[in-house]
Amino acid sequence: MNASLPSESLVTPVKWEIEPLGLGKVTHVVFDFDGTLSWLRHGWPELMLEVFEENMPAGLSVRDSQTRAELTVLILALNGKPTIEQMRAFADWSLSQGGVQLNPEQLRVTFQDRLDAQIRERTAQVHSQTVAPDAYVVAGARALLEFLAARGVQLFVLSSTVEHRVREEAELLGIAHFFGERIHGSPLDPSQFTKRAVFERILAEAGISGEQLLAFGDGPVEIAEAVRLGGAAVAVCSDENHNGSGVCDPWKFDQLRAVGAHAALPDFRNALELIAPLLLS
């Protein structure tokens, strides 16, 4: 998925419009989970492309650079929404390209089964202590969480992954204690879940305005919703192939800037210098 970007994307935060936002006012920070804090699902876009390849209309292939680019944009544009949305979008795309009518739910099950097998393997590595938990925590995230918690900042997870899975994986990675009960995931029926509703509930229950909110995410949904509410939004353009490479994923970089992200990071190692001016002192 990755490719080189200009040198400004290497480790140093990319700032666009963050400084005028909420200076000294942020008290609540919301993190997406997969790809933002957790690297357990890394490589999932490639896995999804493999499923698409197997169901492609005759004569088309993700090995073709134009087709691959088109489908990668489709996948990442819906990152942060339930997986079925990506499958529906691919089914529509396939039909428009002369393919047969596909069943989005069957596509979703195939993808989810393969992803779950990959997650089980990675989880087993952590349980057996053959791999340290931090291998599957996005670089620099633990240190940032420790700093924010010590400052008394209220920390939240907001994920479209089923909630009990998010809680289990946060425990596995040793970061659940930073959030307590403030881990919000999707119910088993994803039609009953939107990130917008959870964002609005967080603000209402805390009695705060959007300018006190900071969101980190690698998908357009959480970025766009934080911006809509008047909060600061930082794109975490994490590398799906090499945790800690220091290089922004170019697809995430372009899409998250397009939906209004105020700044971008490849990971969290230099996050503090970017967000420190926003935090309530």
Residue ranges matching CATH 3.40.50.1000 in the chain: 7-39+137-278
- Write the class of the CATH domain 7-39+137-278: alpha beta
What beta strand segments (E) does the chain contain?
14-15, 28-31, 154-162, 183-186, 213-217, 232-236, 263-265
Nearest Cα residue to 29 out of 231, 219, 172, 174: 231
Q: What is the pLDDT along the chain (281 residues), one digit of tens a residue?
A: 544 333 344 556 888 887 767 678 999 999 999 999 999 999 999 999 999 999 999 999 999 999 999 999 999 999 888 899 999 999 999 999 999 999 999 999 999 999 999 999 999 999 999 999 999 999 999 999 999 999 999 999 999 999 999 999 999 999 999 999 999 998 888 778 899 999 999 999 999 999 999 999 999 999 999 999 999 999 999 999 999 999 999 999 999 999 999 999 999 999 998 899 999 86
Strands 232-236 and 154-162 turn out to be unpaired
Tell me the C-alpha distance between 49 and 71, whole Å.
Answer: 8
Tokens of 82: 């339930």
